[in-house]
Amino acid sequence: MLNEHIEDNEFLYRRIILNPNFWDFEKNRPSSAIFKDSNGASVDRQDNRSDSDVIETYKNYEIRGITKVLTSVCRELETYPIYKPLDDNIYHCEIHDSKEKIQLSSSKAKKLRDNSIVIFTKDV
C-alpha cells in the first residue's frame, strides 16, 4: 500500500473508455461525463510514476485515451480525492464531490474536465 495521503503535486489519471458520451467529438476532447460516476470517479494516482509509465500500463486496454488532473486542482475545485486501493491496483483512488457526497455535481465534473490534460489518445 502507498501513503494514504495523496500529495497536492500528484496527478490523478482517468482512463477514457470507449463510450461516445465520454468524448466531445466536435471539440475533440473528453466530455465532463468522464468524471460523472455514482460510485465516485475512479482514478489512479501518480505516486512515483511518469506519464509514460501510466500510458504503458493502460494503452492496451480498450480506451479512447487517458487524462490527468493535479490533486491540488481537485482540492481547489472543492472535490475530495481519496485513496482506495484495490487488491489488484495499489494506485486506485476516487474523486468524490465532498466528504459526504460521492457523485460529482455537473459543474464540478465540467471544471475537472476543463482542468485535465489529455496525455494519450488512441485512434478508434
- pLDDT reported for residue 1: 79
Q: What is the dihedral of CA 105, 109, 115, 116, to 10 degrees?
A: 150
Summarised one tens digit per residue, pLDDT across range 20-77 is 999 999 999 999 999 999 999 999 999 999 999 999 999 889 999 999 999 999 999 9
- pLDDT reported for residue 56: 96
Domain boundaries, given as residue ranges, for the chain: 11-121
> CA–CA separation, 8 vs 89, rounded Å?
21
Q: What is the largest CA-CA distance in the chain?
A: 41
For residue 124, name the pLDDT band (cuts at 50, 70, 90): low
pTM of the shown model: 0.95
For residue 123, name the pLDDT band (cuts at 50, 70, 90): confident
